[in-house]
């Protein structure tokens, strides 16, 4: 245990210099990003590598590429991954719409718009909320899928360009756009939809030269069996244990193996495990 002086996150776990200094002081040779605080901070990844330590995560460039939801959408569109697009000049036929924060998360800056006359006001409010929460006022608008489900795919890439999908999770039960319950595998998907979603997730990771464990999130419309890219989390997620429960893999061990430069074929000698059973996490 290394003491970080201070009583607030900004003085401790969000201080890149203090965390790197603590790692060096402890004689560590690698830093695992965890799944909060600086876990998706490209500057932290660069600082760790500049200190001569191994970063147990994707490259800083991959983190940055997926860090902006607007930029990520552009990359996914180019890679052939389905994305939701709102028209430049929406009409009543395009309602409802969803205003989203480009750099945000946890439901911050998200607003459902059901009347066109409210759109400008909601965009301004979302920009202000995002600026105060994330220091970035960029927002975008997309169609709001009323009864959409939130399904995400766990991916793993080695540092040699090979990637696989390690199953999926359903995170549809939410409160204020924040996940409350996660389950693996995602129930009620046809084999065709599941296979297509896994393929799209791997293509998404490949588009940014991904390495390590990550999660590609999709919005799924059960009525039409269509799905669209939401975002990619360039880290381990709080709900990763439900995937471990049904696949029997240790995602953290796999992350470390990738950071050591090992091949996916060596890390998963039996190939991609077929999920067995069902796991639920509630928070």
Which residues are part of the catalytic machinery?
Answer: 235
DSSP calls for 53-121: PEESS--HHHHHHHHSHHHHHHHHHHTT--B----SS--GGG-SEEEEESS--TTTT-EEE-SGGGHHH
Give, as one character, the DSSP assignment of residue 136.
-
Structure tokens at 137: 């006022």
The answer to whether the beta carbons of residues 227 and 23 sit under 8 Å apart is: no
Tokens 């790197």, located at residue: 20
The answer to whether the beta carbons of residues 95 and 141 sit under 8 Å apart is: no
The answer to whether the beta carbons of residues 127 and 104 sit under 8 Å apart is: no
Enumerate the H helices of the chain as residue ranges: 16-25, 42-50, 60-67, 69-78, 119-134, 191-207, 240-247, 251-259, 264-267
Cα separation, 100 vs 259, in Å, equals 33
Neighbours of 104 (CB within 10 A): 21
Tokens 């979302």, located at residue: 126
Closest CA to 137 of 129, 146, 147, 148: 129
Closest CA to 143 of 82, 98, 90: 98
Cα separation, 201 vs 216, in Å, equals 6
């Amino acid at each position: 245990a290394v003491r970080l002086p201070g009583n607030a996150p900004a003085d401790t776990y969000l201080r890149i210099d203090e965390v790197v200094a603590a790692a060096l002081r402890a004689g560590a040779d690698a830093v695992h990003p965890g799944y909060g605080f600086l876990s998706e901070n490209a500057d932290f990844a660069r600082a760790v590598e500049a200190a001569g330590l191994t970063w147990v995560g994707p490259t800083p460039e991959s983190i940055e590429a997926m860090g902006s939801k607007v930029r990520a959408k552009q990359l996914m569109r180019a890679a052939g991954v389905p994305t939701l697009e709102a028209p430049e000049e929406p009409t009543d036929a395009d309602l409802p719409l969803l205003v989203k924060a480009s750099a945000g998360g946890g439901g911050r800056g998200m607003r459902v718009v059901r009347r066109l006359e409210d759109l400008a006001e909601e965009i301004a409010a979302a920009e202000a909320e995002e600026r105060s929460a994330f220091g970035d006022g960029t927002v975008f608008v997309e169609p709001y899928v009323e009864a959409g489900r939130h399904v995400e795919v766990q991916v793993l890439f080695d540092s040699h360009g090979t990637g696989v999908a390690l199953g999926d999770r359903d995170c549809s039960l939410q409160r204020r756009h924040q996940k409350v319950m996660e389950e693996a595998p995602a129930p009620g998907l046809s084999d065709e939809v599941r296979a297509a979603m896994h393929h799209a997730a791997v293509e998404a990771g490949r588009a940014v030269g991904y390495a390590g464990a990550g999660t590609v999130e999709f919005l799924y419309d059960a009525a039409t069996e269509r799905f669209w890219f939401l975002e990619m989390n360039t880290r381990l997620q709080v709900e990763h244990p439900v995937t471990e429960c049904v696949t029997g893999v240790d995602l953290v061990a796999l992350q470390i193996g990738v950071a050591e430069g090992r091949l996916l074929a060596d890390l998963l000698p039996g190939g991609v495990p077929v999920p067995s059973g069902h796991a639920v996490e509630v928070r």
